Structure 1
Amino acid sequence: MNIKLFITTLFCVITLQVVAQPKAKPNVIVILSDDAGYADFGCYGGKEIPTPNIDALAKNGVLFTNAYVTAAVCAPSRAGLLSGRYQQRFGFEHNTSSKPVNGFQLTDVGLDPSVKTIGNQMQANGYKTIAIGKWHLGEEEKHFPLNRGFDEFYGFIGGHRNFFAYNKQPKRELQLLHNRKAVPEGEVYYLTDMFTDKAISFVKENQKNPFFMYLAYNAVHTPINAQQELMQQFAHIQNAERRAYAAMMTSLDRNIGKLVATLKEQKLYENTLIVFLNDNGAATNNAADNGVLRGLKGSKWEGGIRVAYIMQWPAKLPANQVYNPMISAMDITPTAIAASEGKALKGQVLDGVNLLPYLLDPKKAVPHQDLFWRRGVAAAVRSGDWKLIRTANNPLLLFNLQDDVSEQNNLASTYSQKVKQLEKKLQNWEQKMQQPHWISDYGDDNQIKKHRMEVIGREMEIKYP
C-alpha cells in the first residue's frame, strides 16, 4: 500500500472519530429548599447548624450575596424559577387558592399551560428530565409535571405534606406519587431521604445521557417533622421547635452530600451544573433564622425575598467565588439553556439572564440593574443599591441596602426624587404584567401590617403570617 495514501487515510479516520465525539453536554441539577433561614447555612454565616455539604457547593463554586426569588411565598416563587419569567406575566401572583377572579375558573389556578417550563426547554435540547419533591403549581391534569416538561415525577402536587407516613391514604394533593400512581403510605419513610434516594437512582439510570433534575425538597417547610436520632445531636438547643428545625436542616444537608457523592462515584461530578437555592425567606412558623435580614416569608423585606443561592460547575466555573451583583431565580432557566448549548423555545419571553458570561468575566456589566416584586397590595423594586416598598394604606418605604441591609432607616422623605424615580420604574413594569388570575385565600390585611416600620423582630412578625 502506498505509504502516503495510508497516512492520509489514517488521518481522515482519526479526524472523523474526533468529529463524531462531540463534547458531552453537562447534566443540570436544581436543588430547592423550602422556607429555610438565610442565616442557617454555614456559608452565609450560620454557626448553630452545621451544613458542610451545602457549604462545599459554595467552596467549589459561586456563592451569591444579592440573590433573589421572584416572590416571598412558595407557589409564585416556583412559577418564576421554572419559567424564567416574572410570574405576573401569566397571572400567577399568589399562592394557589380557591378564589379565581372574574374570567377564570377554579381549574385555571395553576401554571398556565401556555407557559413553557425549564423542563420543556431542556427536553427540547435533548435532555431526560425529572421533577422530584414538592410541585405546588396546580392540581389539574393540565398542570401535572408530566404535562409540563418532565419525563418523570416523584413527589406530591400540593404545598406541604407530612415527612413521615400518614396512618391512612391521604387526599390526592398530599399523596406521594410516582408519575400518576400513588405510593402506598406503608412504603413511605422520611421524605427527605426518599427524594434523595430517587434522585440517586435517576442519576445512575441516566449515567450516559444528559439529564435535568428539579429536586424540590419540602424541607424545611412545616410540619416540623424531625428524625429522633438527629434531634439528639441538638439537645443543647433549648427551644424544641428550633431543635427539630436543626435536625431537619441536618437531614437536608446530609442528603445533598449523598447526591454529590453519587455524582462523583458515577464520574459525573465535574460536568454537572448544580444550582442550590431556597424558595423564599424563613417562615414565621418553623423557627428558621434570617440573621441580619429584616422580615420573614410573605414580605417584601429582604428577609422575605433574598435567599441563599449557590452555583457549581467544576468543569466550567472557577471555585470559591463570591458574586455580589443582583441575580434572580429567573436566571436559572436561561443559564441552563446556555450550558446545554441549546436555544430557548420560541414565543417565551425570558426575563432571566444567562449568568455564565458574568461569572466567567467578573468585570462584565451586572446581569440586572432592576428587579421587581408584587403580590396583591404589596410591591417592591430594587434598582442598584436602592429599594422601594409600596404597600396599600402604608407610607412608601425607601432604603439604601448598601448602607442599611437590615432596612432600619426609611429614607423616603429625604430622597423624594429617588422615590419618584423608583415609583415610575415600578409602574412601567406593572404595565407589562397581567393582573392576578386568582387572589389569596388569606386576604391582604397581614401584608399591610407586616410592612409597617414599627413591626420589628420575629415576635411581632409571627403575628402576621
Structure 2
Amino acid sequence: MERRSFLKAACSSLAFSAFSGAAFAANDASRQTAKDALSSKKRPNVIVFLADDAGYGDFGFQGSKVQQTPHIDSIAKKGTRFSQAYVTASVCCPSRAGLLTGRYQQRFGHEFNGPDAKPMQGYTQDDLGLDPNEKTFADYFKSLGYRTCVIGKWNMGLRPQFQPWNRNFDEFFGFLGGARSYFPIEGEVNEHHVMIKDQKVYPEEKITYTTDDFTDYAVDYVQRHKDRPFFLYLSYNAVHTPMHAKEEDLEQFSDVEPWRRRANAAMTKAMDDSIGRVTGKLKELGLEDDTLIMFFNDNGGTNNGASNGKLRGMKGSQWEGGIRVPCIMKWPGEIKKNTVYDKPVSGFDFLPTAYAAAGGSKILGKPFDGVNLMPYLNGKKKSRPHKTLFWKRGEGYAVRDGDWKWVHQEDGTAGLYNLAEDISEKNDLSDKNPEKLKHLKKLYKQWESEMAPPKWKRGGGWIEYDIAEQLSS
C-alpha cells in the first residue's frame, strides 16, 4: 500500500514538473525584467563546492602534509580562507539543510539525519525531507533569472515534494540518499543509491567513478551556460564512506598508513583534480573573474581516515572537530586574495552572501539566520558577523558566545571553554567561571525555545519505495 501511494504521488510529481517547466518558460519575460533591473555590473556565476566528511586538517591550505590539493589550494590563494567556519549541524543531512536555506534547520524540524528515519508523533513519511515551505538557493537564484543546477549527493528527501527538480533546480545529476558506491553497483540498486539524470534512472554500467562523473556533468554545464548567469551546487560524496579510490590515485600514496588514511588521501586527490577541471573550464571560457566560488565541507571528519588536526572530536559531536570545517570564498576583485578571515562564520551565511552578490535583496521566505558576509570581507563592517552561534542534535548541544563555548555531549560530558586560548577544548573552565556558564546556558535555553521539535528520529523505520519505477511512469 505504501508503495502504491508513493507511485501515485510520483506520477503527480512528474506532472507538476512538466507544469513547472511551462510556468518557468512563461515567466521568462518577468525574469528578464528582474535581470535588467539589477545594476549594470555583471552578476557573478555562483559555484558552491561541497566536500563530504572531510577532516579539518585534510587539505593543503589547512596544513596537510598528506593530502595533495593544489587546485583547492589555488582557490584559497586567490581568495579568502576562513579559520573559524562552522556548519549548522555535525552530520550531513541537517547541515546541508542549513546551508541550502540560510537558516537554522531546527526552525523547521530538520534536526537529524534522514531520510532513513522514523517520523515523530504527528508526522508521516511525507514529512521526511527538506520542508517544502522553506526557500533554498534555487528559489532565490531563479527569482533573479539564473539557471540552477545541483550535482551529486542530494540527501534532502526521497519523495516527490523533496526531489530537486521540484525545488526549482533546473537540472540534477546525482543520487537522492546520503551515500553510495563510487563505482557501478551490481544487482538491484535501492532508492537511496540509484543515480538520476534528467529525471531518469542513469544506468549503472555508464558510471565510471562518481567524483569524475559528477565533474564531467559540471564541466559540460558550465560550457552550456557560459552566456547566462548560473548557480551550480556541486555536492560531492567524497570523502564519505565507502572508501572507494581509483587504483592510480592509491598508487601515489602507497607509503601512507593505515589503508583507510591512504584511501582518504587518494579520494581527496580525485576531488581536487575534479575541482581543478571545473575551475580550469571557467578560466578557459573567460569566466574566472565573473564567478563567485565557495568551498565548504558538510561536517567534521570521521572514521573514514580523516584528520581533524588539533580539534577535539569528530562528526556527530558538538566539539570543534564535529562542527568547525574548511572554508574558502573567491571572487576576483571583490573578495581579497590570499587572506585569512578569523571571525566566526556559518554555513547559513552562504545563501545570503551569494544572493546579495548576485544583486538580490528581497527575502522570499522566512528571515535568514545567516548574513551577507561581503561587508565583513571588504572591511566595511568590523564587528563579528555572529556574536552567538548554536548547535543541537538530540541531547547533544552547544553554544558559542564571543570566544566562549559551552558544550553538552549526548553522553553527558560537558564543559566551558575559551576557544581563543584553547582551540582543542582541553581545559574545562566551568568551575572558574560560573557566571559565564550561567549566561551561556541562558542564551541556549532562549534559542532552543524558539526552535521547532524534530519531525523525525534518527535512523531506522523508513519504508522502501521504488524511485526507478516512479521515474519510468
Give distance in 2, aligned partners of 1:391 and 1:296.
12
Of 343-352 and 313-322, more deviation after overlay is shown by 343-352
Alignment of 1:105-124 (within 5 A): 105-124=124-143
Amino acid at match of 1:434: A
| Native 8 Å contact 1:168 1:185 kept in 2 | no
CA contact (8 A) 1:134 1:217 kept: yes
Aligned AA (1:216): S
One-letter amino acid of the structure 2 residue matched with residue 111 of structure 1: L
Match of 2:458 in 1: 440
Counterparts of 2:365 and 2:264 in 1: how far apart (Å)? 43
In structure 1, the residue matched to 2:216 is: 197
SS in 1 for 2:425: coil
1:50 to partner: Cα distance? 1.4
> In the aligned structure 2, how far is the partner of 1:365 from the partner of 1:19?
31
Among 39, 43, 59, the alignment partner of 1:25 is 43
Deviation, 1:172, is: 2.4
TM-score w.r.t. length of structure 2: 0.88
Return the alpha-carbon distance in structure 2 between the equivalents of residues 171 and 50 of structure 1: 34
* C-alpha distance in structure 1 between counterparts of 2:333 and 2:52, whole Å: 28
Question: Could you give the per-residue CA deviations for residues 312-361 of structure 1, whole angstroms, max 9, x where no partner exists?
Answer: 00131121110000000000000011011012433322000000010011
Query: How many angstroms apart in 2 are the aligned matches of 1:354 and 1:241?
Result: 38
- Alignment of 1:208 with 2:227, yes or no, is yes
Deviations 1:4-47 (A, max 9, x none): xxxxxxxxxxxxxx999932210000000000011111111111
Contact 2:394 2:410 in 1 (8 A): no
SS in 1 for 2:89: coil
1:374-408 per-position Cα deviation (integer Å, ceiling 9, x unaligned): 00101100111100012456253100111110011
Report matched runs for 1:77-88 at 5 Å: 77-88=95-106
CA drift of 1:362 comes to 6.6
Could you say what secondary structure the match of 2:398 adopts?
strand
1:12 — aligned with what?
A: none
Determine which of 250, 256, 267 is the counterpart of 1:231.
Answer: 250
Secondary structure at 2:289's aligned position in 1? coil
- CA distance in structure 1 between the aligned counterparts of 2:128 and 2:446, rounded to whole angstroms: 26
Cα distance in 2 between the residues matched to 1:227 and 1:318 = 36
Distance 1:349 1:71 in 2: 19
Structure 1 equivalent of residue 8 of structure 2? none
CA contact under 8 A between 1:72 and 1:305: conserved in structure 2?
Answer: yes
Equivalent residue, structure 1, for 2:262: 243
SS in 1 for 2:81: strand
CA contact (8 A) 2:135 2:365 kept: no
Residues 391 and 397 in structure 2, CA contact (< 8 A), matched pair in contact too: yes
Residue of structure 1 aligned with 2:194, choices 169, 175, 190: 175
- Cα 1:49–1:393 change in 2 (3 A) is closer
Please state how far the C-alpha of 1:82 moved relative to its aligned partner. 0.1
Runs of 4+ off more than 6 Å: 18-21
Mapped pair 1:153 → 2:172: yes
Of 137-146 and 165-174, deviating more is: 165-174
Unmatched 5+ residue regions in structure 1? 1-17, 444-465
Change (3 A) 1:296 1:392: closer
Paired positions, count: 425
Does the CA contact (< 8 Å) of 1:63 and 1:311 recur in 2?
yes
Q: Secondary structure at the match of 1:282?
A: coil
Structure 1 vs Structure 2 CA RMSD: 1.7
Q: 1:273 Cα shift?
A: 0.2
Percent identity, aligned pairs only? 48
Unpaired runs of 5+ residues, structure 2, are 1-35, 462-473
- Bigger Cα displacement from structure 2, 395-404 vs 253-262: 395-404
Amino acid at match of 1:133: G
Q: Secondary structure at the match of 1:172?
A: coil
Corresponding residue SS for 2:165: helix
Find the partner of 2:158 among 126, 133, 139. Answer: 139
Write the letter of the residue equivalent to 1:402: A
Alpha-carbon offset, residue 180 of structure 1 = 1.6
Distance 1:420 1:19 in 2: 50
- Which residue pairs with 2:117 in the alignment? 98
Q: Which amino acid aligns with 1:226?
A: A
Classify the secondary structure of the residue corresponding to 2:329: strand
Q: Which moved more, 1:362-371 or 1:423-432?
A: 362-371
Counterpart secondary structure, 1:411: coil
TM-score, length of structure 1 as denominator length:
0.89
Any conservation in 2 of the 1:100–1:439 contact (CA below 8 Å)?
Answer: yes
What is the 5 A alignment of 1:399-410?
399-410=417-428
The 5 Å alignment of 1:306-385 reads: 306-361=324-379, 364-385=382-403
Q: Quick one: which amino acid aligns to residue 263 of structure 1? A: L
Match of 1:13 in 2: none
Structure (1 or 2) with the larger CA radius of gyration: 1
Deviations 1:144-173 (A, max 9, x none): 001112111010000000000012341122
* Selected match of 1:218 from 237, 254, 258: 237
